[in-house]
Amino acid sequence: MDVIESNKYFLKFDRQGIIKYKAIAKHIKKLIDSNIVKDGEKLPSIRKLSEYLNVNSITIVNTYKKLESEGYAFQKMGSGTYAKRKDINKNFRREYSKVLKKISNNGYTEYMDFTGETPNGDFFPVKSFKNVIDEVLDRDGAKALICQEVLGYEGLRDSISHIFWNNKINSEDILIVSGAQQGIDIVSKAIVNTNDGVILEKPTYSGALSVFKWRRAAIFEVPVDKDGLNINKFEKILRKNTIKCFYTMSYFQNPTGMSYSYEKKIQILNLAQIYDFYIIEDDYLSELIYDDRIKYNSFKSLDTNDRVIYIKSFSKIFLPGIRIGYLVPPKRFKEGIQNCKINTDISTSSIMQRALDLYIRKGFWRNYIDKLNSVYSHRYDYTKYCLIKYLKDKAVFNDPGGGLHFYLRILDEISINTIQLFNEAKSRKILITPGTLFYKNPLDGQKYFRLSFSQVKDEDIKTGINIISDIMNQKR
Cis check for the bond before 203: say yes or no (omega within 30 of 0).
yes
Statement to judge: residues 73 and 147 lie in one domain: no
| Nearest by Cα to 209 from 242, 153, 255 | 255
In a domain, 40, yes or no: yes
* pLDDT averages per 10-residue partition of the chain, 476 residues: 50 53 87 80 90 88 89 86 73 77 75 88 86 94 83 95 96 94 95 96 95 95 95 97 97 97 98 98 95 95 98 85 91 93 80 94 93 95 97 95 97 91 93 93 91 94 97 88
Statement to judge: residues 101 and 67 lie in one domain: no
- Per-residue pLDDT of 9-43, as tens digits, reads 555 544 444 568 888 988 888 888 777 888 788 99
- Record the pTM: 0.82
Report the domain count for the chain.
3
CA–CA separation, 288 vs 399, rounded Å? 14
CATH number assigned to the domain comprising residue 336: 3.40.640.10
CA–CA separation, 50 vs 48, rounded Å? 6
Domain residues for the domain of 44 are 4-83
Statement to judge: residues 61 and 93 lie in one domain: no
Last residue of a domain, one of 330, 347, 362: 362
CATH number assigned to the domain comprising residue 63: 1.10.10.10
| Nearest by Cα to 449 from 111, 208, 114, 181 | 114
Statement to judge: residues 209 and 333 lie in one domain: yes
Is residue 315 helix, strand or coil? helix
In a domain, 275, yes or no: yes
CATH number assigned to the domain comprising residue 424: 3.90.1150.10
* Residues contacting 106, CB < 8 A, separation 6+: none
